[in-house]
Amino acid sequence: MTSSQTTLDPQVAALLKRDDCGLVTAVIQQHDSGEVLMVGWMDDEALRRTLTTGRSTFWSRSRQSYWVKGETSGNRQWVREVRLDCDGDTLLIKVDQEGPACHTGTRTCFDGRVLPAVVIEAKR
């Protein structure tokens, strides 16, 4: 895919299973540590931009517009790999994160809010 492409590759688009709003979930993960940084939403155009620019681009459901991670904050994400899950409804975007990933200023959006859960040791 080249950066001059204006639509998502039809072969890639055919693999996606979108929700009723035309979106797929995108899980963002630090490429070298495996740390889950954040979750966002992508439509075909956001995915095309992500694949062709090397920068994580999302669809904002609240603002109804595209946004590039770090465009205003400077906390950029540099795409290292993009994977699609077996069902075609979730993307795994492996990135090199610059600065905090969360809008609250924490490294990940999953810092500090651990819910109580029963933990069972796996039988080996």
pLDDT at residue 113, as a whole number: 85
Digit-coded pLDDT (tens) for 49-90: 999 999 999 999 999 999 999 999 999 999 999 999 999 999
CATH for 10-97 (3.40.50.2000, 3.30.70.1140, 3.10.620.30, 3.10.20.810): 3.10.20.810
| Average pLDDT of the segment spanning 33-60 | 97
Sequence-ordered list of residues with C-beta below 8 angstroms from that of 4, at least 6 positions apart, any chain = none
Q: Where are the alpha helices (DSSP H) in 4-64?
A: 10-13, 44-53
What pTM value is reported for the model? 0.89
